[in-house]
Amino acid sequence: MTPSLLFQRLRRAIWTWKQPLTQQPSERTAPISDLFIWRASKDWQTSFELIDIPSLFCDYPHTIPRNVTIFFFDDKGRYCLEKRIPVLPHQRQTLNISSLVGESHGEVGTFAVFHADIPRAVTDMGSFLTERGYVSYRYQQAPLQAYVHGNYDAIARKSDHTFERLGVTGWLPRQYCLQHAMQNPSYYEFGLVNPTNKVQSFTCQWISLLSGKLLSHQIVKLPPQGMHLIHFPINQSEPARAVIQSRLVMARPLVFRIQNSKLDVFHG
């Protein structure tokens, strides 16, 4: 092995050794979910596409009732409520998340979807049943909804009904560079979520693509399971890129891009 190759491997090890993207639950049969972002206000409606995932691994009889439990948290990560929803056998159903969470818990927060039945085929493979399905958002009276898939394994529910957060932090601060150039007159909102067991600090910077100068920055501290929306407008003459610094292994935000009444939502 050449000295340069050895140096490259050692440098990479600093950022990767015992620092996975997420950790596994301590219980093999614990269901896993992403921490999805919900929005509920006069301008925003959130929906979730619920699929009968266990039936993909086991042909359950239609006569056996099954369900999922949806747990809602506010923007500070505090438990709000839970809803048990019957699963339609071998079907997909659209859930109105904004209606389920109601109007008494603020306008934004997180939620997790846990399936009650874990097929034996899943645990025999050494795997976990994970819900990282599709959430959709409608802005104002737009005729179409914008869909986005789950980000990563974030939270598990143990047999004693407690939660186990699966986010991982590194030893050194990391920078996540948004893989999207922000340009044209648009309004951006960045949804940050904390899937770890400790309060996390995020430093968000917006840097000009033309001059490289710092246009704006903001520091956000999030409790476990909490989330925060950061707002940033883009004018036509100053396109920008976003850099998020934290100790999360990957602090990838949920990005809402609004142009007039048109909405796009994606993970940067």
Under a CB-based contact definition with an 8 Å cutoff, are residues 120 and 48 in contact? no
For the chain, which residues make up each domain, given as ranges? 32-165, 169-267
Arch. (CATH architecture) of 32-165: Sandwich (2.60)
169-267 CATH: 2.60.290
pLDDT in tens, 143-184: 889 999 998 889 999 999 999 999 989 878 899 999 899 988
Question: Could you tell me the pLDDT band of residue 266, with boundaries at 50, 70 and 90?
Answer: very high
Average per-residue pLDDT for the chain:
89
The order of strands in the sheet holding 44-51 is 92-96, 44-51, 134-139, 146-149
Query: With 90 as the cut, is the pLDDT of residue 6 above it?
Result: no
Question: Could you tell me the pLDDT band of residue 227, with boundaries at 50, 70 and 90?
Answer: very high
In this predicted model, which residue has the larger pLDDT, 245 or 57? Answer: 245
Most confident of the following: 5-14, 39-48, 50-59, 62-71: 39-48
CA pair distance 67, 163, nearest whole angstrom: 18
At 36, list the tokens. Answer: 């999805």
Residue 263, φ and ψ in degrees, nearest 5: -115, 135
pTM here is 0.90
